[in-house]
Structure 1
Amino acid sequence: MNMSYEQMVELASSGLVAAGIGEKAAFETAQFLSLAELDGLASHGLARVSQYAGHAKNGRIELAPKIKVRPFKTSAALVDACDGLAFPALRFATDLSVNLASKTGVGLVAVTNSHHFGVAGHYAEAAARAGYISLLFGNTPAAMPMVGGSKAMFGTNPLAAAFPVQGHEPLVIDMSLSAVARGKLLVAAKKGESIPEGWALTADGKPTTDPQEGLKGLMVPLGGDKGALLALIVELLVVGLSGSRFSYEADSFFDAKGNRPRIGQLLLTIDPGLSGGNVFAGRMRDFLKELSADSGTRIPGERRFKQRASGFKGGVNVSEVVVGEIQTGIRQSWSNS
């Protein structure tokens, strides 16, 4: 089903409000989910509306939280998402980190008592568009084992980095530390499709092409042991600085019932003027010129921005199964009111 950005925001927002989520949080969340659809990242798009609605109905999130902030020294702060949806808190934390970096050169903001935060690159991109280097790390409910282990200890633990490019779109690197984002299994499960072998394992550690079994089991780390160790670094940084829950303490996002995840995120925003004047901009320009001279090279973020521009003009195709789920939730809300 082809939908414009505005139509997606309206549908997603209505679906979240129907589940009892406050209008402001629902609208801001819908904006990010719709942006993910424009970027071609359906695993972090409208497919999440029914998931979040299930969490709302089962008390896994606070419906209308008031974000709290605790400053720490001159260039760091802790943002408490207060068990709400993560998007409003991450938007606030990104703005705060940029503000701190503009004053002190560096802005470090940890987010605690948080939830699933969508596409990590969206926040880093926003800081880069303001002229800053941005790094973002987050932990997620346990889905991957430690090296040599068979028990889920830490999540797919996404990370993103964005670098401003004078006169051009920023360079954005965005990845989870599993072989693929776990949300891709969610999309495949909703469509009744299989997944490639090598994406996930069953609960007893066997390779599977069934996304439902993969969601119940383990994700395969990106690059084997190295991916698992990178996920561990993210886990310890995020939890240690935010005081949030470890991944193994948070129940799966893919279950409607469970505890309040209370996971965390960490943003590091840096003023690139350290080397003086326009040195950073010049070095970036030289690097990208050399990189582009290599035929076939793709600049990180480039494809996403092209898809976004195309989506803003002509809309994007959203799964009819996903749209139907959201509409059913809205109708049920009406009949119960």
Structure 2
Amino acid sequence: MVCPNRYDWKRLEQFATAIFVRAGVSTRDAETVARSLVHADLRGVHSHGLARMPVYVERISGGLIDFSKAPVILRKAGATAVVDGMNHLGAVVGEAALQTAIEIAGKNGTAIVGVRCSNHFGACSYYAEQAIQKGMILFVMSNAPQTMAPTGGIRPFFGSNPIAAGIPAGSAPPFLLDMATTVAARGKIALARKKGEAIPKGWAIDERGRDTTDPAEALRGALLPIGGAKGYGIAMFVDILCGLLAGAGYGPGVHSLYDNDEHPQNVGHFFWALQIESFMPLPLFQQRMDQYIQQIKAEPKAEGREEILIPGEWEWRTAKERQVSGVPLPDTVVCELAALGSTWGVELEDARIQ
């Protein structure tokens, strides 16, 4: 039986690209943003997928994103660079920073690139996966609008401030850790609100600092950091690198993607690339990674567990399966995308698998 809301991933990219182009974005940049969004849906991370597209288009239409100027390298010194995103679409800025990091690391063995004046750039895994395909290790992080309270506080100060690490293997799936520094990403809570679902206890607090399972209360309150004060410390570290060091907004200076029709976001990102060939031949490293992963998987398993997975493996498998069988989209996302397509004269039904 075919799922009624299952869509061909390539046609979803075409659908998203067509809308961005009609909104005025160049075809090349539109394709980049579309790929980044569908990448998340393929991996089962719907909070960072096409569910974000309506607000992207809304901010484009409101003049809050400037796609008339390409991102520029402000300075380059040794193995470091600073990229000004020029308030372009976040995925376009992130792609420019990634390519800069890969180029520098190819010459120097490593590269660190700070990014300022950007916007929401999608899932960090989108960039880590590309670096993996180039035989490189990538650490990538981003700050974000206020959602997390510092430990001991009740008012949001930090964003969910995600951090990711991608490391290639050989025949085994790559190591790809992509995580928010909050217990859950804000996008997951927003998606739960759209679907009318409760959230687990321990994800967030309400405006008075009390635990809540109501996503609406959580969005008015604050998200909780992973591991208590440890997650708070990691979120602050990310904000220092992406905000203060890169010259972007930080803390309250990173403006919201939603409910904000006045200010550009001024998000900051941070890319650190390592060329494996600077340490050892890539095939040898990949062989060692395969052996390492096999050892982990051979460890004794907990009762009821059939397999030990490595970070990112479930998402990797999900993407492989969905490239063949199609991407299932939540009903709420389908309704929003269909309405958006109707506004811009692009038919979502063309992407549905019959």
TM-score, normalisation: structure 2: 0.88
Match of 1:321 in 2: 332
**Partners of 2:169 and 2:287 within 8 A in 1:** no
Task: Tell me, yes or no, if the aligned pair for 1:72 and 1:78 is still in contact at 8 Å.
Answer: yes
Letter paired with 1:298: L
CA contact (8 A) 2:244 2:250 kept: no
- Give the count of matched residue pairs: 334
Q: 2:99 corresponds to which residue?
A: 95
* Structure-1 separation of matches of 2:114 and 2:215: 33
Within the candidate set 31, 38, 41, 1:27 is matched to 31
Q: Could you tell me which residue of structure 2 aligns to residue 238 of structure 1?
A: 242
Match of 1:307 in 2: 318
CA distance in 2, matches of 1:12, 1:324: 14
CA contact (8 A) 1:200 1:219 kept: yes
Which runs of 5 or more structure 1 residues have no equivalent in the other structure? none
2:259 to 240, 250, 255: 255
Q: Does structure 1 residue 290 correspond to structure 2 residue 295?
A: yes
Judge conservation of contact 1:15–1:327 (CA < 8 Å) in 2: no
1 CA distance for matches of 2:111 and 2:72? 17
Give the secondary structure class of the aligned counterpart of 2:166.
strand
* Correspondence list, 1:1-337, <5 A: 1-277=5-281, 280-294=285-299, 295=301, 296-333=307-344
Structure 1 distance, partners of 2:232, 2:262, is: 25
**1-structure distance, mates of 2:111, 2:23:** 35
- How far apart, in 1, do the equivalents of 2:315 and 2:115 lie? 26
Cα shift at 1:213: 2.3
Gaps of 5+ in 2: 302-306, 346-354
| Cα distance in 1, alignment partners of residues 88 and 235 from structure 2 | 24
Contact 1:25 / 1:64 at 8 angstroms: preserved in 2? no
Identity %: 31
Cα distance, 1:18 vs. partner?
Answer: 4.7
- Alpha-carbon distance between aligned partners in 2 of 1:31 and 1:256, rounded to the nearest angstrom: 25
Amino acid in the other structure paired with 2:338: Q
Query: For 1:333 and 1:308, how far apart are their aligned partners in 2?
Result: 28
CA displacement, residues 145-170 of structure 1 (integer Å, 9 cap, x when unaligned): 22222222211100000112134432
139-148 vs 278-287, greater mean Cα deviation: 278-287
CA distance in 2, matches of 1:56, 1:162: 31
RMSD: 1.9
Q: Residues 251 and 258 of structure 1 are in contact (CA less than 8 Å); yes or no, is this contact kept in structure 2?
A: no
C-alpha distance in 2 between matches for 1:156 and 1:42: 16
**SS of aligned partner of 2:310:** coil
User: Is the contact made by 1:37 and 1:45 (CA closer than 8 Å) also made in structure 2?
Assistant: yes
Q: Deviations over 1:96-141 (max 9, x none)?
A: 2111111101111111101111111121121122111110111001
TM-score computed with the length of structure 1 as normaliser: 0.92
Deviations 1:253-277 (A, max 9, x none): 2325241110110000012244444
In structure 1, what is the Cα distance between the partners aligned to 2:139 and 2:224? 24
- Cα distance in 1, alignment partners of residues 267 and 261 from structure 2: 16
Q: Which stretch of the first structure deviates more once superposed, 170-179 or 318-327?
A: 318-327
Q: 1:142 to 1:313 in 2, by over 3 A?
A: same
Identify which range, 277-286 or 125-134, moves more after superposition. Answer: 277-286
Q: Which residue number corresponds to residue 352 of structure 2?
A: none
Provide the C-alpha distance between the structure 2 equivalents of 1:305 and 1:33, rounded to a whole number of angstroms: 16
Query: Could you tell me how far apart the structure 2 residues matched to 1:292 and 1:38 are?
Result: 25
Paired residue type of 1:287: Y
Give me the whole-angstrom Cα distance separating, in 2, the residues matched to 1:186 and 1:139. 18
* Secondary structure of residue in 2 paired with 1:154: coil
